[in-house]
Amino acid sequence: MKRTLLLLALSGIAPLAAGAEIRLWHGLAGVHGEAIEALAARFNASQPAVRVVPIYKGSHAVYAALAERRKGLAPHLVQADEARTADLAARPRDVRPLWEVLAEARQLIDARYVPALAAPYSDAQGRLLALPLSAATPVLYYNRDAFRRARLDSEPALRTWYEMANTLGALIDAGESCGYATAWPAWVLVENMSAWHNQPFVRQDDGQARLAFNGQLMVRWVSMLASWRKSGYFTYLGRADEAEQRFAAGECMVLTSSSASYAELRERARFEVGVAPLPYFDDFDAAPQNTLVRGSALWVLAGRGGAAETAGVARFVDFLSRADVQAEWHQRTGNVPLTRIAYELTRAQGFYRKQPGYEVAVRQVVIRNPTPESGDSRLGALPRIRVIANEELESVWSGGKTPLEALNAAVERGNDLLRAGGTR
């Protein structure tokens, strides 16, 4: 279905009462936390009627906000990651669709977001349920200094995973103890590898979502990783961002992780960090297709304030949607620019000539429009399914199961979960 993401609202702008305060709860730390604070300060300085107050609440900001909403103490806006979309969209008493808030406030915004980035937060009519805030996709990081020590090209052509095997072998032969590691394995190794090859992570069966990632691609991929683990090419370091820490410390030479980590990795590493697209298997005709984004959005909590505060929320959303603000957010955080206009503005400003690594992620997302196989799955049970996938992958790394056994078990366990109440 063609999505039209230019939000239509009533004509005119709602009046604002001076001094309206909008509270925003978020879980952004480090570079990202500093960036949201800077944008709020810039917005507050641009006009006298609304003051946005960002408040850091950690990774459980959305749960805290929902609990406080029932007491009448919720913030106006809360950040939630994309895996919570299905759950929040099914809570009309707790959250309000963004398009509805904008219409009520008579605020028209230019929301021509990249389809792959807006889809996780849009309804079937293409109307935004929440405002996309951050978006990142997996990329390949590598230690340029280590490549030079191993007499490898510091601008390597790491196009395919087959080529990667020779590179890792050279690094290990040069004395490195950790060749390749990955952060967020379920997201990178399973979900994104499926989309990148246009292979289904989930299928619809008579309107019911069913996991389907135990096919030829994933069996080959996990088998390759199991072989690399035995030979020392691949090191498993954990389910979250443990591999990023080891890479930044100079202990692992190649890393797959979120593109949003680029700024912090460059800041922490004492070596030159290279960035390349995610490799693929070139004997899959549809590859490369597109990678998936993992990010977050701002949701409007229900029952907060009157017309002035609703108008204040809408005005801040309009500010965040501006091309110059989107470009600033992208350049400060490493998140993928959410609109094509922000991408083109960043290019025109010469940013990618100085920082070409930032453009790698953008191209992976916009290279092709998502297909039914490569698009967002929006499963309400996705956080738990990621846990299951990680558990089964770990059974392969430990030698307890074959790749096929583990993948079949992950799909079966995940589908049991979906039948018990998970929804698309």
Which DSSP string do the residues of 181-236 spell out, in sequence order? EESSHIIIIIIIHHHHTT--SEEEETTEEEE---SHHHHHHHHHHHHHHHHTSB--
Q: Are residues 131 and 259 in the same domain?
A: no
Q: Are residues 102 and 120 in the same domain?
A: yes
Look up the domain containing 125 and give its range: 20-136+294-354
Give, for all 424 residues of the chain, the pLDDT tens digit: 333 333 333 333 444 445 689 999 999 988 889 999 999 999 999 999 999 999 999 888 888 898 888 777 889 999 998 878 888 888 888 999 999 999 998 888 766 787 778 888 888 888 999 999 989 999 999 999 999 999 998 787 789 999 999 999 999 999 999 999 999 999 999 999 999 999 999 998 877 889 999 999 999 999 999 999 999 999 999 999 999 999 999 999 999 999 989 988 999 999 999 999 999 999 999 999 999 988 899 999 987 778 889 999 999 999 999 999 999 999 988 888 888 899 999 999 999 999 998 999 988 987 788 888 888 777 878 889 999 999 999 999 999 999 999 999 999 999 999 988 754 4
Q: Is 95 contained in some domain? A: yes
Q: Is 414 contained in some domain? A: yes
Q: Is 363 contained in some domain? A: no
Query: Torsion angle of alpha carbons 314, 318, 319, 324, nearest 10°?
Result: 170
Q: Are residues 274 and 342 in the same domain?
A: no
Q: Are residues 267 and 328 in the same domain?
A: no
Q: Is 365 contained in some domain? A: no
Could you tell me if 390 and 192 are in contact, meaning their C-beta atoms sit under 8 angstroms apart? no
Rounded CA-CA distance 3/320 in Å is 21
Q: Are residues 166 and 218 in the same domain?
A: yes
Tokens of 380: 């309400």
- State the pLDDT at residue 13: 41
- State the pLDDT at residue 176: 96
Q: Is 129 contained in some domain? A: yes
Q: Is 163 contained in some domain? A: yes
Task: Compute the mean pLDDT over every residue in the chain, rounded to the nearest whole number.
Answer: 89
Q: Is 74 contained in some domain? A: yes
What is the reported pTM?
0.84
Domain count, the chain: 2
Q: Are residues 387 and 277 in the same domain?
A: yes
Q: Are residues 274 and 395 in the same domain?
A: yes
Q: Are residues 28 and 89 in the same domain?
A: yes
CATH number at 406 reads 3.40.190.10
Q: Are residues 129 and 142 in the same domain?
A: no
Q: Are residues 322 and 203 in the same domain?
A: no
> How much helix, strand and coil, in percent to the nearest 5, is found in the chain?
45, 15, 35
DSSP state of 238: -
Q: Is 360 contained in some domain? A: no
